[in-house]
Structure 1
């Protein structure tokens, strides 16, 4: 009976969750940040929506991660534009009723 040479210890089992962020999701993250900054000013919503659509398309093709974050970015961006489209005329109407434009 021959003895097998020692080749080291067997690999240890990995605990926890696998790395879900292995693919790059930087554009989706930036799109979400730009869309959320749209609450402060309307200008940053447009790049947030555009980058959200681009990141979502890349995630669908498998080129990048962050599909959910990209979806959230452009949905939030569109909701903020709708919010501004409602709030600005309402604010102008209230101001006109109180004589701000005399």
Structure 2
């Protein structure tokens, strides 16, 4: 029985309205995630926290989710309509994080 390699899951992450400042000031990233596992938004957030979050995690993560004030859009749709943390990422998904947190 030949084993077939599982292709990577390729997605795009985007950050706007200041959220990019927490991720090395990079507004857009193309990711290739391990395709052998199921990737939900919850798993993606853990990966982001461990691998690319460079500044003040408390401004992005609260518990197991994004903190209030961070809007999440998946393919231009509010993640609340897609199941939030339970949404299973699909090839070529575009995940956009927008900060509505502004100092004053």
Task: Report the TM-score when normalising by structure 1.
Answer: 0.25
Q: Which one has more relative contact order, counting CA pairs under 8 Å at least 6 apart?
A: 2
Greater fraction strand: 2
Give the TM-score of the pair, scaled to structure 2.
0.24
Higher Cα radius of gyration = 1
